[in-house]
Amino acid sequence: MSPNNNQLRNVTVTLEEDVARWARIEAARRDTSMSRLLGEILKERMAAHDDYAKAMRRALGRKPFLDSDGRYLTREEAHDRGRPR
C-alpha cells in the first residue's frame, strides 16, 4: 500500500528549550496542539518553497526584454559603472 498525501505520520522532534517553550505558548495561543502547529508551519514553508520554485521557473522561462542577445548579464557586467580602464 503506497502512502497518499493525506496520510499522517508520527515523528519525533528534538527542540532547544527556548524553541519548545515558544512552540507550547504559540500552540496554546492558537488553541491547537504543538503537533498540529508544527505541521501547519512546515506545510506553509513547503508551499512557500514550491511557490518560489514555480515563480523562478516562470521568470527564467520568459523571453529576454529589450534588445539583448538572449543571455543574462554576468555579475561583473551588471555592476560595471563604466569606469575607465
Per-residue HEC secondary structure of 43-68 comes to HHHHHHHHHHHHHHHHHHHCCCCCCC
Residue 5, CB half-sphere, CA atoms under 13 Å: how many? Answer: 1
C-alpha cell at 4: 497518499
- Record the pTM: 0.58
Q: How many CB atoms lie within 10 A of CB 65?
A: 6
pLDDT of residue 67: 64
Q: What is the mean pLDDT of residues 45-49?
A: 92
Q: Which residue has the cell 502547529?
A: 37
pLDDT, greater one: 40 or 64: 40
pLDDT of residue 1: 42
Instruction: For residues 81 and 53, give the distance between their C-alpha atoms in angstroms, rounded to a whole number.
Output: 31
Average pLDDT of every residue of the chain: 84
